[in-house]
Amino acid sequence: MTTDEITDLLTGAYIDEFETVMNYQTNAIVLDGIHAEEVKTSLEEDIQEELDHARILGERLKQLDESPPGSESFEANQHSLQPPEDTTDVQSVIEGVLEAEADAIETYRSLIEAATEANDPVTEDVAVTILADEEAHRTEFRGFQKEFPMD
Ligand SMILES: [Fe+2]
Ligand SMILES: [Fe+2]
């Protein structure tokens, strides 16, 4: 059985995935310098996965007889992922990505909890699958963070 909490979480997560796609794409384009190359390549790869997450979430909403939102529902939240003024500031992008991934992980954990409570194993499965990807993204960027230690 579905609940308002589940559809709200699915809808919010759908919007967040698109915001992530936009900011990862922008940062993959704007970063400069020798330290940026690996981060840019990694962002490009993750964009494809984040888009796939949005598709899976949208399809789940449809299966629950709801519609994924259009752009009029869009509300921007990822302030720390805006393109840096200094385009060689790879570290600020790494920090922004880690924050976005932490937010995503929190959302999918909440979705797992809500789905378990509502006895909705299909939504739970969707959330577990996506959570595994987000944890992998976090691990990848924690690795980059070690190369760029905070002072
Ligand atoms: Fe994602
Ligand atoms: Fe991610």
Residue 113 has pLDDT above 60, yes or no: yes
Residues with CB under 5 A from ligand 2 (ion): 134, 137
Comparing 89-93, 121-125, 147-151, which segment has the lowest mean pLDDT? 147-151
pLDDT band at 148 (very low <50, low <70, confident <90, very high): confident
Pair of tokens at residue 59 = 């399809």
For 8-30, write each residue's pLDDT tens digit: 999 999 999 999 999 999 999 99
Question: Distance, CA 126 to ligand 1 centroid (Å)?
Answer: 12
Q: What is the pLDDT of residues 55-88, one digit of tens each?
A: 999 999 999 999 999 999 999 999 999 999 999 9
Q: Residue 87 and residue 100: Cα distance in Å, rounded? A: 19
User: For residue 149, is pLDDT > 90?
Assistant: no
Ligand nearest to the CA of 101: 2
Query: Is this model's pTM higher than 0.85 or not?
Result: yes
Percent over 90 (pLDDT), the chain: 93
Ligand nearest 57 Cα, by number?
Answer: 1
Ligand 2 center to residue 67 CA distance, Å? 23
Find the 117 Cα to ligand 1 centroid distance in Å. 23
For 95-123, b where at least 16 C-beta lie within 10 A, e where not — what string? bbbbebbebbbebbebbbebbeeeebeeb
